[in-house]
Amino acid sequence: MSATALRRALPRDVWLLFANLLLASIPVGYLQVVLPLYLDRAALDPGAIGLLYTASGLVSAGLVAVSGLFADRFGKRRFVLWGTLLPIVSFAIFAATAAPGWLGFASLLGGVGLANGAAGALTAASFDALLAEHTPEARRTRVFSLAQIVWDIALGLGAALAGLPDWLRAAFPALGELGAYRPPFVGLCVLAALAALAVLPVRDDGAVSAARARGGWLPRRSGRVIAWYAVAVGGLGLGLGVAVQLMPLWFNRRFGVDEAALGPWYGLGQVLSLVALVAAPWLAQRLGSGWTVLWCQVLGAACLALMAFSPGFEWAAVLFLARTVLTNVAWPLQQALLMGAVAPQERASAAGLGFAVWGLANGVGPSIGGALLGQGLLLAPILVGAAAYAAAGLVFGLGFAGRPRPVAA
């Protein structure tokens, strides 16, 4: 299908959700590279940095399941909207102060780590369900692949901006070491506000919400599918938390590089991940989504493990690129599998419960990784993360490999 035909085939609300995802995710890409090093320069030790990420992840895990239950019953759009707006408070705190107490408060609200605190809890369950609600079933795999592409582009743009503090420091010496980080934080507030405007016209399917209201609070019809999914994404969350969330700090400790050197590599990783647009639907139609997820996660885990033994920064960076691409090919298939396997009126609840397990594991991970890095144990977090990713891929294969292959569209 050509780009023009696809644009005409998809509803307006799908494109508005894509716009929201793009604008709300650029800050995630920027902070993924910059924040661990900013916190390090703000005199927080690796263990304390890990605790901030853990606090964000645990708050997200604690709220996301409940938000999914409420979103199915009362409407998903409002949860996406609130979750898009909440990080503005966190970004404003980062721009105003580097005091540890305020940074801890910001981490609870959102803006720290991929779990994204309370903001992540509001959007994680609702966004995928709302996107599935507005997507024709035959095009669901392709649409979720497109969403992954939007996410990759956003993270790539954000990572490409990671050198801004270094440039501002050189151009305006009066800003100082930490002051150079603050103007970009203000820019992140603007992006989040624009993302909220994009989602305002989107509407919920009232019939789906009404069906859920008649069926009770718990997603009983989809319990077995949700259990398989939750175990698998829990492994992904642990691998991400232990090994990947503090990866900029690991690169800094291992090879002495800073955000200016890492930003282009992170940006390139997201650009290369655009292969998901073609690769994910193509592989799903030939191998099946479950088998594709299995192989992508296992091969990605192997790349992560090999990073631990890389002789130089460039070798490790190339392996990190490969892991990023493989993981990003798998992610839209995982989401499409879940949305297609559960009852429509239980989609947000299913995503919420899955993300709750993901967030709990992801929240614990950075504390483990930060503590290991603080002790100078550079191999351990990488190898633990690789093992968690591989186990998650195997669980996905066992739970979903037998499901029908998606229809080409």
Structural domain includes residue 103:
yes
pLDDT digits (tens, 9 = 90+) for 294-349: 898 999 999 999 998 998 999 999 999 999 889 888 887 887 777 777 777 677 77
pLDDT digits (tens, 9 = 90+) for 97-156: 888 888 878 877 876 655 566 777 778 778 888 888 888 777 777 788 788 788 878 888
Number of compact structural domains in the chain: 1
Structural domain includes residue 120:
yes
- Supply the pLDDT for residue 132: 81
Structural domain includes residue 287:
yes
pLDDT over 90 at 186, yes or no: yes
| Structural domain span for residue 152 | 3-400
Q: Are 61 and 233 in contact (CB under 8 A)?
A: no
Alpha-carbon dihedral 341, 343, 346, 349, rounded to 10 degrees: -10
Structural domain includes residue 406:
no
pLDDT bracket for residue 197 (50, 70, 90): very high
Show the 3-state SS of 14-27: HHHHHHHHHHHHHH
Those residues with Cβ within 8 angstroms of residue 44's Cβ, 6 or more apart along the chain or in another chain: 52, 100, 103
- Supply the pLDDT for residue 111: 61
Residue carrying the six token digits 């369900």: 129
Structural domain includes residue 407:
no
The count of other CB atoms within 10 Å of the CB of residue 212 is 23
- Supply the pLDDT for residue 212: 46
CATH code of residue 268: 1.20.1250.20
Q: Which residue has the higher pLDDT, 379 or 121?
A: 379
Angle between helices 247-255 and 259-272 in degrees, nearest 10: 130
Burial code (b: 16+ CB inside 10 Å, e: under 16) for 1-24 equals: eeeeeeeeebeebbebbbbbbbbb
Structural domain includes residue 371:
yes
pLDDT bracket for residue 390 (50, 70, 90): very high
Q: How far is CA 170 from the centre of its chain?
A: 32
Q: Which of 277, 311, 283, 315 is nearest to 297 (CA)?
A: 283
Structural domain includes residue 55:
yes
Structural domain includes residue 408:
no
